[in-house]
Copies of this chain bind each other. A is one copy, B any other.
Amino acid sequence: MSRAVNIAIVGAGLVGSAFINSLQSLRSSSIAYNIILIARSSKALVSKQYTPLPLKTWSSDLAAASSASALSPGDLAAYLEKSPLPVILVDNTSNEALARVYPLFLQQGVSIATPNKKAFSSELGLWTAIFKAAANLTGTEKRGLVYHESTVGAGLPIISTLKDLIATGDEIVKIEGIVSGTLSYIFNEFSTAGEGEVKKFSEVVFKAKELGYTEPDPREDLNGLDVARKLTILARLSGLEVQSATSFPVQSLIPKALDSVEEVSEFLARLPEYDAETEELRSDAAAQGKVLRFVGKVDLGDGVSDRVKVGIEKYDGSHPFASLKGSDNVIAFYTKRYGKNPLIVQGAGAGADVTAMGVLADVIKIAERIAK
């Protein structure tokens, strides 16, 4: 008899759709992944008898579903609790309300795989509640597992590597990384190691927006909060009790004078007025043979005052961060065992396909532990 798990998917946008496609094309799996629920905020397809949903037409079926089918987090919990097979909730949203219900799901034995950063980078109390409610694998108690690789660097093996280092007894000394694809692109274009053409910071931001690399409102990238959320997760996994993503220094790339601007269009129109500031930083660094990068750091070294911080840093032209390309992410783990040269992971850290891949890899890992 083959083993199986039930899968409930919340969030059916780009990542959710890529996830469903990848799951359907899984090669040579000996575990059956039965999708029993696909929901978006306004409606849901639910298999009342917990049998697999027909998937050929899920997208149009979901679009045709009535708004009465929408599920509250409480409805979802009540439904999943009665699943006859072990069940994995795949939360492909960035919904904070759903994240707040994770402890309840986990206590009920529902496992979770998710790229939802909100669950792990909001106030420390939620983090603690989630991991207290999750399975500690001590046996008879039926608790859920929670995996969240894609919360940092999408499908890149960042969370799993950090967890392996810590679980096997290594000591984290420092973590340093470029973990925003948008800000990676902007700084890779703005501050290059070679002699290339000098671009204005605002022009690079406009180009990034044009290419679809930024949020519709680029200030959501420029304020550094996305990087701060990811650093909160890395710092907490490293053992630091970080209160929230705003409890440590985060440099915003939004000029102070534009803080009170409301409209995106006005912000963008006025951004070029501040190019002189960024150009001064860039040319000062270049004069020292260095480039600028927007970096997050977790530093557990002795006597460090800001253990977590996010902002612009300078790197030598020969540093791995200096030769980064496109919108790639890179993360360097400095540990006691690895010594002077860090363990480095690099590659695309954003995009629906690689995010869905990280979630699917987590789903497989959970299923191998819980499938029946």
Instruction: Mark contacts of A134-157 with chain B using CB atoms, 8 A cut-off: 1 yes-contact digit, 0 otherwise.
Output: 001111100000000000000111
Assess whether A348 is in contact with B339, with CB atoms less than 8 Å apart: yes
When distances are taken between beta carbons in the complex, the residues of chain B under 8 Å from A31 are 137
A337 CA / B354 CA spacing, docked (Å) = 7
Assess whether B368 is in contact with A138, with CB atoms less than 8 Å apart: no
A contact residues, range = 35 or more
**Which residue of B30, B157, B320, B338 contacts A161 across the interface (Cβ within 8 Å)?**
B157
Identical copies of this chain, number: 2
Assess whether B168 is in contact with A357, with CB atoms less than 8 Å apart: yes
Min CB gap A152→B, angstroms: 14
When distances are taken between beta carbons in the complex, the residues of chain B under 8 Å from A72 are none
In the complex, whether A326 has a CB less than 8 A from a CB of chain B is yes
In the complex, whether A347 has a CB less than 8 A from a CB of chain B is yes
In the complex, whether A343 has a CB less than 8 A from a CB of chain B is yes
Assess whether A361 is in contact with B167, with CB atoms less than 8 Å apart: yes
In the complex, whether A169 has a CB less than 8 A from a CB of chain B is yes
When distances are taken between beta carbons in the complex, the residues of chain B under 8 Å from A353 are 337
Min CB gap A56→B, angstroms: 18
A333 CA / B155 CA spacing, docked (Å) = 13
In the complex, whether A218 has a CB less than 8 A from a CB of chain B is no
When distances are taken between beta carbons in the complex, the residues of chain B under 8 Å from A344 are 344-347
In the complex, whether A256 has a CB less than 8 A from a CB of chain B is no
Assess whether B368 is in contact with A354, with CB atoms less than 8 Å apart: no
Assess whether A338 is in contact with B361, with CB atoms less than 8 Å apart: no
Which chain B residue shows the least CB distance to A193?
B318
When distances are taken between beta carbons in the complex, the residues of chain B under 8 Å from A27 are 166-167, 169
A326 CA / B338 CA spacing, docked (Å) = 12
**Which residue of B333, B342, B364, B371 contacts A168 across the interface (Cβ within 8 Å)?**
B364
In the complex, whether A22 has a CB less than 8 A from a CB of chain B is yes
Sorted from nearest, which 10 A-B pairs have the closest CB atoms?
A343-B347, A344-B346, A164-B361, A30-B138, A168-B360, A30-B137, A157-B157, A168-B357, A30-B136, A1-B139
Binding site for B on A (CB under 8 A): 1-3, 22, 25-27, 29-31, 136-140, 155-157, 160-161, 164-170, 193-194, 318-320, 323, 325-326, 328, 333, 337-348, 353-354, 357, 360-361, 364, 368-369, 371
